[in-house]
Amino acid sequence: MDSNSFDAVVGPRSEDLLPASATTSVKVVVVGGFGVGKTTMVGAVSEIEPMTTEETMTRAGEGVDHLVGVPDKSETTVAMDFGRISLNDRLVLYLFGAPGQQRFWFLWQGLFEGALGAVVLVDTRRLEACFDVLGRLEEGGVPFLVAVNRFPDAPRHSLDEIRAALDLPEHVPLITCDARDRDSSRGVLMSLARFLHSIALTTEAS
């Protein structure tokens, strides 16, 4: 997709929801550590019934599934989540939520095939959980933004503090969200779309 067509579809009319007239589809992957809200975000924004592969956690996961910060979590994604959202009357995003536990990361290669970009969800209670995630995206050359999911009991830090803690380059967008809220999660995806558009413009100009 060239930058002109991307500019046309990622326009100000983000309130339009007309999937039947969509002319451009984009694959986006939602990633992050265990329990950061990936399944929640995909489910919150999807205009179709989302597909999930959550399974009940068992004693077999003890010592493997790290529940620090999420002691009440009882289910985990073992393959992927899938949903779809129309950002406007021409652009549709197909969302793939990646499993957060490292023992399922062998699935990532297939999930990222053909993806235009990624959303990295972050929980400030467990910032260290996203270091490996960020590293893998950078190594793979996948454009991404970072969205801090504001859990009610999570410590509050400024975005500058979080950027410094993650050693995140200035050009990578860093925003906050509530993954449970449709409008908030949709705003994250719009931000990603605009970031990808800016990359397309830069590539075209070079």
CB 45 within 8 A of CB 119: no
Name the phi and psi angles at 128, rounded to 5.
-65, -20
Domain boundaries along the sequence of the chain: 3-205
| Tokens standing for residue 158 | 């400024």
Question: Which stretches does DSSP call E strand in 44-163?
Answer: 54-56, 75-77, 81-86, 91-97, 117-122, 144-149
Q: Both tokens of residue 13?
A: 């009319």
pLDDT tens, position by position, 187-197? 999 999 999 99
Which H or E run contains 32? strand 24-32
Mean pLDDT check: name the lowest of 4-13, 141-150, 185-194: 4-13
Q: Which listed CATH number (2.60.120.620, 3.40.50.300, 3.40.50.80, 3.40.109.10) goes with 3-205?
A: 3.40.50.300
- Predicted confidence (pLDDT) at residue 104 exceeds the cutoff of 80: no
158-187: average pLDDT: 97
Q: Is the pLDDT of residue 160 over 50?
A: yes
| pLDDT, averaged across the chain | 81
